[in-house]
């Protein structure tokens, strides 16, 4: 097991947190050969927005070079992670998120923020999990600096005004992303892992988490096997976890989180080797969701309402042709009995198919993180291709619904704000508000005209566009006019097969 190292790099990392001059697109790795120059606006210039009539921009906050975010289960709080900080927002009014707490912390990549909760004798303990992929350092935990990744960090946000690093756990596999197996009672978390394995982190003691050994008879800590390892675990409403990565997607029963049981895979099509389905995985299947999963019945006609449609983004950020660069996909979950052929392709679209991106070539225009409403409207980030609203109500025929694309933008994540009930508990329902987390722009807030809501694209509480209130000084990435260009680069980490 590799422990995080405290080295002379501490000062360099803290300087990086202040300057934030180097960043780049997300993937399962790092990439030294991939660079992009983004023009930063001249003083007085207006960043152009190309948006459909059914999407209204409500507000923005450029205070963080944003990467990922998550919502707490039993309090209307939103936690975001960026290159320089972890931030906590009050989203009781989803159209007007209010910044309430900031932890100065530089980390990369932590591109899938995970929120968890634990019930204790003193009440509910709330926290966010950071997956360290390359580096991490924070001013409240300066004696522990990570250079090299493979570590999970627990950030306590029980007091949203004072987030702090509560604990750390080194892992034997990649922690590019980490995910709770039960967000409302997060006792275990799974790592992204490598091409064929992943780590399970025991969080029962939040102040001293530790990796689970899959084989106690062999010296050292042994990871767990997965046929589709490498990127993201996603838990659905039926308690089934889907692991997306290099070889496609696999679905697991995690009711016993220390002994996950494989139920189905996406087969050769998910591996990208089936000639009948070219382009379905040119790099990785990135992340997934299965709306209404609790309604699933095997061998029924594919339908979002029936809970048998798996939604997936396929990332291929090295491809600059926006007709090939990374698709959004639907898959039919026919059965979950362990037999081959349980998950089969339905439809896929690239950014160019959505008709909302002005150029056929873009340095980064792959699909990335997304979120779905139970009714089948998806909000997805497409890097420079902006925030796309996609209609998957007919899973056999994906169609565009709306979009918002800025002149200088790098959307990593887009998510619908959940509806919280009168007691502050998150429900399965979604508002009409979308948060877009942008490496260049920070946080953008949109309202979407959703069919049947009768309200249009502007909620009553937010009729005029305005900046969000922020206690932080905006980052140089957006506010410093002297920067003529921003170089975005990645380092690819070699992953053993």
Per residue in 90-123, pLDDT (tens digit) is 999 999 999 999 999 999 989 999 999 999 888 9
The SS3 assignment for 366 reads coil
Pairing of strands 224-225, 387-391: unpaired
Residues 6+ apart with CB under 8 A from 460: none
**How far apart are the C-alpha atoms of 92 and 248, rounded to whole Å?**
37
Mean per-residue pLDDT of the chain = 85
Report the run of H or E that residue 18 belongs to, with start and end.
helix 9-19
Residue 420 is given by DSSP the state E
Residue 88 tokens read as 């906590």
Query: Is it the case that residue 141 has pLDDT exceeding 50?
Result: yes
With a pLDDT cut of 70, the percent of the chain lying above it is: 81
CB 200 within 8 A of CB 188: yes
Query: Is it the case that residue 487 has pLDDT exceeding 90?
Result: no
Q: Cα–Cα–Cα angle for 89, 41, 467, nearest 5°?
A: 30
Burial of residue 421 (number of CB atoms within 10 Å: 0-12, 13-18, 19+): exposed
pLDDT digits (tens, 9 = 90+) for 408-463: 899 999 999 999 999 999 999 999 999 999 999 999 999 999 988 777 777 655 44
pLDDT at 461: 55
**Of residues 317, 315, 309, the one with CA closest to residue 248:** 315
**How far apart are the C-alpha atoms of 442 and 476, rounded to whole Å?**
11
Residues 6+ apart with CB under 8 A from 46: none
pLDDT at 147: 87
pTM: 0.87
pLDDT digits (tens, 9 = 90+) for 163-191: 999 999 999 999 999 999 999 999 999 99
For 428, phi then psi, to 5°, come to -80, -15
Give every strand in the sheet of 200-202, ordered side by side. Answer: 178-180, 188-191, 200-202, 210-211
Of 25-34, 249-258, 484-493, give the lowest mean pLDDT range: 484-493
Q: In order of start, what are the domains of the chain with their CATH numbers?
A: 9-490 (2.130.10.10)
Residue written as token pair 């990135």: 286
**Bridge partners (DSSP) listed for residue 98:** 90
**How far apart are the C-alpha atoms of 221 and 289, rounded to whole Å?**
30
Average pLDDT over residues 2-8: 37
């Amino acid at each position: 097991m590799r422990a995080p190292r405290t080295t002379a790099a501490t000062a360099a990392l803290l300087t990086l947190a202040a300057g934030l001059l180097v960043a780049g697109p997300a993937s399962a790795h790092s990439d030294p050969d991939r660079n992009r120059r983004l023009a930063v606006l001249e003083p007085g210039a207006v960043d152009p927005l190309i948006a459909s009539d059914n999407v209204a921009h409500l507000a923005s906050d450029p205070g963080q070079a944003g990467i990922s975010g998550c919502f707490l289960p039993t309090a209307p709080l939103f936690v975001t992670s960026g290159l320089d900080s972890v931030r906590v927002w009050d989203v009781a009014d989803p159209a007007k998120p209010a910044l309430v707490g900031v932890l100065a912390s530089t980390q990369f990549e932590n591109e899938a923020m995970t929120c968890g909760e634990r019930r204790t004798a003193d009440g509910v303990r709330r926290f966010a999990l950071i997956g360290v992929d390359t580096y991490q350092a924070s001013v409240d935990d300066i004696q522990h600096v990570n250079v090299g990744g493979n570590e999970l960090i627990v950030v306590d946000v029980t007091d949203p005004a004072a987030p702090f690093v509560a604990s750390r756990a080194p892992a034997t596999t990649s922690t590019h992303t980490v995910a709770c197996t039960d967000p409302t009672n997060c006792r275990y978390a799974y790592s992204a892992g490598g091409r064929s394995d992943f780590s399970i982190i025991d969080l029962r003691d939040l102040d001293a988490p530790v990796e689970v050994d899959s084989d106690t008879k062999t010296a050292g800590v042994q990871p767990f096997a997965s046929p589709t390892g490498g990127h993201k675990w996603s838990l659905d409403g039926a308690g089934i976890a889907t692991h997306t990565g290099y070889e496609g997607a696999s679905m697991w029963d995690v009711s016993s989180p220390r002994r996950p049981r494989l139920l189905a895979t996406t087969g050769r099509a998910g591996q990208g080797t089936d000639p009948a389905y070219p382009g379905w995985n040119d790099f990785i299947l990135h992340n997934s969701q299965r709306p209404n999963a609790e309604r699933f019945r095997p061998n029924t006609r594919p339908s979002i309402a029936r809970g048998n449609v798996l939604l997936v983004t396929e990332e291929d950020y090295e491809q600059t042709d926006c007709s090939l660069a990374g698709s959004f996909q639907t898959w039919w979950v026919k059965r979950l009995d362990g037999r081959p052929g349980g998950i089969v392709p339905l439809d896929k679209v690239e950014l160019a198919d959505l008709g909302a991106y002005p150029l056929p070539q873009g340095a980064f225009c792959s699909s990335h993180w997304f979120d779905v409403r139970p009714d089948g409207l998806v909000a997805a980030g497409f890097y420079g291709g902006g925030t796309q609203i996609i209609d998957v109500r007919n899973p056999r025929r994906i169609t565009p619904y709306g979009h918002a694309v800025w002149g200088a933008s790098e959307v990593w994540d887009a998510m619908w704000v959940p509806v919280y009930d009168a007691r502050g508990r998150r429900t399965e329902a979604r508002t009409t508000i979308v948060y877009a987390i942008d490496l260049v722009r920070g946080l953008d807030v949109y309202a979407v005209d959703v069919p049947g809501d009768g309200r249009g694209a502007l909620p009553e509480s937010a009729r005029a566009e305005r900046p969000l209130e922020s206690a932080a000084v905006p980052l140089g990435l957006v506010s410093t006019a002297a920067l003529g260009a921003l170089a975005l680069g990645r380092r690819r980490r070699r992953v053993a097969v």
